Structure 1
């Protein structure tokens, strides 16, 4: 599995960032361009039973101030519409479907729709978390077509992204996988953690692996990245080689162990272990190591 096969990153959508402040231009384009409005509630979308795609309305939904311009795809405009609880319930009753997480439907979406779903989810969650200014406490309102918050005193805030590193550590035909206490039984994945303040990405890779496993690494190479708004991460994926193989757990991890390629393929196939879902960059890293999709 190559890095360019990471889910959620392939799209023809033009975000048109230069248009976000051009309210009149967007208003004019709405008059003669096809527009799509994606209802979002707490980062979730509606997936009708009869369709593999999430529900998209040809008409605006919710309050005009809660419409976020996502960009242009195939000469058509796309907007995310953040709904209130009342609006969300009314739409669920109308469509006889409930708002659900993209996790369950990610692999059923084509590249463009998967990207738009994740994009609209990230904006919606950020907007809901920033009702008030973090500097002065006054109420925020949306500007820049949903991509900026401005409070009563003019303080600006932009979507918050938390960088996290995720690493496939190998030693010959073995790779290092672990599981946290809170995960479902038998689930294993690559080791990962957030980049800390004042820390480089490279330092974060070495620190996280050592903290969670006691393993020292070398030859760290960049693999790719994946947007991960659950709620606001950006996953930065790496491969690395182990210098040592003596494992010691920290409090966060329930288990960390070395898996041989042959064992990993066999156990994943018979269900003895459960690996990260196919839409995750962790799965890409493991599949790349094994030389086959798993």
Structure 2
């Protein structure tokens, strides 16, 4: 697919400078004058108006609540880091933090009112490719550190190493690496229609492409066929890979595929999804224009929306 890497969070050419991860002295020198992106419970610091990620000086007072840190790489030659400050306790209601829809914003007392911790999902379409890649990388790896503090081999508490790209266990010597979960998301078509489904937990009226995790020992094409049949009862024949998207909610890599249905009857598994339906091109155009209150397509910035729009534009090849 010619436009594959233009999807949100697609490659921006960031120099990750992986060779520096094992050089703590060199990194310490870089960090002294570097800019650091604070992340609070998965939410990056954003400019309230532009929604651009806000990098701060490494010695800023915000980092008094410092947690794990990761070296993101070099942005136009300048070192960039991200740091988890989830130990900070903000005032106000935080019940929506971590939910599928989180409209809340948190303001730190050491920062200007125009800088807030906001949900990345709601701001992703306003980011430059470089900002999106750095924010997605920071969110994904720091979320991994938050949920993988203990060694999977012996249960001992592990420590951060390799500039945030590894955890080591002092008790048994085990090494642990950031987790990325492969997920297939599929544009399933039959004639002039595309198969859309909705999860039980999504906002009312929201429909998207079917998706599911790739199982051990399973190829992408087989996962597409299995997931579609399990969720909707629709059989799929030919499967073509289209594009991928890092999806840091919390740590997936989405493999976008085009599947050609060989059956049309839908039998929903209620344990998997709430509903599924075939939607014609004409109806999808109306839905994207906001003219169908019963059908709210996947949000802009998601690979589902990206694939749907390219299907409508006949630019999948």
TM range (shorter): over 0.9
Partner of 2:296: 274
Bigger mean CA offset, 271-280 vs 187-196: 271-280
After superposition, the CA RMSD in angstroms is 2.2
154, 163, 182: which one aligns with 2:201:
182
- Residue 141 in structure 1 maps to residue 140 in structure 2: no
Partner of 2:256: 237
Q: Residue 167 of structure 1: CA displacement?
A: 0.3
Matches within 5 A, 1:72-91: 72-86=74-88
Q: Residue 12 of structure 1: CA displacement?
A: 2.8
Matches within 5 A, 1:52-201: 52-60=51-59, 61-62=63-64, 66-86=68-88, 92-95=108-111, 96=113, 97-153=115-171, 154-201=173-220
Q: Is there any run of 5+ residues in structure 2 with no aligned partner, and where?
A: 92-105
Q: Residue 29 of structure 1: CA displacement?
A: 3.6
Label 1:246 to 1:188 Cα distance change in 2 as closer, same or farther (>3 A): same
Distance 1:65 1:149 in 2: 14
Q: Residue 62 of structure 1: CA displacement?
A: 4.6
TM norm structure 1: 0.92
Distance 1:176 1:290 in 2: 13
Distance 2:189 2:117 in 1: 40
Label 1:30 to 1:48 Cα distance change in 2 as closer, same or farther (>3 A): closer
Matches within 5 A, 1:211-222: 211-222=230-241
Distance 1:105 1:62 in 2: 26
Distance 2:155 2:207 in 1: 42
Q: Residue 87 of structure 1: CA displacement?
A: 7.6
Task: Assess if the C-alpha contact under 8 Å between 1:62 and 1:84 holds in 2.
Answer: no
Task: Assess if the C-alpha contact under 8 Å between 1:62 and 1:81 holds in 2.
Answer: no
Distance 1:91 1:149 in 2: 31
Q: Residue 267 of structure 1: CA displacement?
A: 3.0
Bigger mean CA offset, 123-132 vs 265-274: 265-274
Question: CA offsets, 1:47-76, max 9 Å, x none?
Answer: 232443122102243577732111001010
Distance 1:20 1:87 in 2: 31
243, 266, 277: which one aligns with 1:247:
266
Q: Residue 30 of structure 1: CA displacement?
A: 4.3
Task: Assess if the C-alpha contact under 8 Å between 1:82 and 1:124 holds in 2.
Answer: yes
Partner of 1:24: 25
TM norm structure 2: 0.86
Q: Is there any run of 5+ residues in structure 1 with no aligned partner, and where?
A: none
Distance 2:267 2:178 in 1: 37
Distance 1:149 1:62 in 2: 22
Task: Assess if the C-alpha contact under 8 Å between 2:69 and 2:142 holds in 1.
Answer: no
Question: CA offsets, 1:208-229, max 9 Å, x none?
Answer: 0111111111221001111112
